[in-house]
Structure 1
């Protein structure tokens, strides 16, 4: 999830663990801990694109990381907050729960997390977008209410608990909606006599009303979307895999790494001006133009001295503005 959401979650969990004893300091340290796992993005400054992608939501988003660093951070803060009356154990519990809930929440997104690192298994339920105002805003509202209550006030616990309950209920609702929309997509494929190998569904950006499906066929991927307000049949657009364009490159180590990142095969290859692009399908399109598709995550493949490198294509503000306009119109139904 986005940084604001993780800060809110960390602060709320910190309050639940130590709010009675240290008041708003529990929120402060919880909020700090809620951002720590995402420091793995700093890998972008020190390594190549493919390695940075592999690192993201890996070690720092694992149970191992939480167990290892919670007592270290707990010891450090216990030395800083000697007058708090809370010892090393209490602060360690705060950091453990705030660190572990970060990847748990991320596990519901499309990207998912390597929660069981070093085992190569990614947890990704794909039922909530990384930024969802309907999840974050109510959560933030109850956190602010909690913040302005006295430490001993029963309302403080009540508001904090309500924030956790409301946000958790929303996650459950999105899981239900995922099940409902999955059935809509599979029924549509059956009605249109489309044979497919596998299907993945996920919410569109910023909401849980519009959902998209990636469908694998023998030589292409189909992408369709469905809004809860739709009244017309689902339309699927075809995008050729074009894996053959890789030629001998498909055996190159870095190409194999990219394919693994794309969950083993959810990618297409496109060619523009003699350049090859690796398009990760899991995160959808930036536009609704099947003739000239622009994928959210697309990497230009560059060969230097026999090694293939990936360079992420740049996105600009116009892309985002266009996407938002099209997204709102599509949410309202077909």
Structure 2
């Protein structure tokens, strides 16, 4: 999830663990702890694109990280804070660390919660930014912050924030199941034979859902809103995996395919090859758009090493997409 959401979650967890003993400092340290796992994004400044993608939401989002680093941070805090209970501080950091990747596991990218095992959890039932999850949670946190640490209202507000946000998360799983069945029924009605069906919510809501459908030679992309009155339409995108030719044997290419979980297409434009990660869809609702959210240019260095460079996104595309999504959300 986005940084604000993880700050709010970390602060609420910190309050739940230690708020009655140290007041707002529990929220402060919980908020800090809630952002620490995402420091892995800085790996992109020190390594290549493929390695950075592998590192993201890896070790720092694992149970192992939470177990190892919670007591280290707990000990560090006791060296200068007046409250010296090492066990309490360690529990605060542990729960703030572990709830971060558990929440991230519900997004499209997912997390390697069981690192070093090569298992990525990605339930894909909530977008990385969702105001309906974050804003009510934030309101309850601010209400709790205004109360005295011994006040019953303080713990009650914080508990309500955790319950409401968790309830919405559970609701999104139900909505995903309904949307999945709508896509499945549409494919059956249109007599489309497919190998795999994958669904996810569109940006900042759980009303409009997107689907990736794998067929033998192509991928089908479609959208469904709970307000739709017309049948679901699917756009076809050829896999074009054959365009990789011998590059398919390259280690970096194999790693990128693994990162994309096999949901990728190859695009050739002006003699350049592009790797499209289909898991995150398009930056446009226009028919037959090739403007994928994550597109990587493939280049070959003198040493015959394959390199991937992310194609920069245009902010105007993002703004237009949000406007188009709002229109599409209201039904076709």
- State the TM-score, normalizing by the size of structure 1: 0.98
Contact 2:235/2:288 (8 A) holds in 1: no
Aligned counterpart, 1:16: 16
Deviation at 1:289, TM superposition (A): 2.7
> Residues 170-189 of structure 1: matches in 2 within 5 Å?
170-189=168-187
Aligned counterpart, 1:274: 271
- Give the gaps of 5 or more residues in structure 1: none
Aligned counterpart, 1:328: 326
> Residues 31-50 of structure 1: matches in 2 within 5 Å?
31-50=31-50
> Residues 166-315 of structure 1: matches in 2 within 5 Å?
166-263=164-261, 265-305=262-302, 306-315=304-313
Classify the secondary structure of the residue corresponding to 1:80: coil
Deviation at 1:291, TM superposition (A): 3.1
Contact 2:236/2:288 (8 A) holds in 1: no
Runs (4+) off by over 6 Å: none
Please give the alpha-carbon distance, in whole angstroms, between the structure 2 residues aligned to 1:98 and 1:194.
45
Number of residue pairs matched by the alignment: 331
- State the TM-score, normalizing by the size of structure 2: 0.99
Aligned counterpart, 2:163: 165
Deviation string 1:59-102 (CA, Å, 9 cap, x unpaired) is 00000000000000000001121x22x41111000000000000
Deviation string 1:27-62 (CA, Å, 9 cap, x unpaired) is 000000000000000001101111100000000000
Aligned counterpart, 1:137: 135
Classify the secondary structure of the residue corresponding to 2:306: strand
> Residues 42-121 of structure 1: matches in 2 within 5 Å?
42-81=42-81, 83-84=82-83, 86-121=84-119
Deviation at 1:290, TM superposition (A): 3.3
Residue from 140, 147, 150 that aligns with 1:149: 147
Please give the alpha-carbon distance, in whole angstroms, between the structure 2 residues aligned to 1:277 and 1:99.
36
Please give the alpha-carbon distance, in whole angstroms, between the structure 2 residues aligned to 1:204 and 1:73.
37
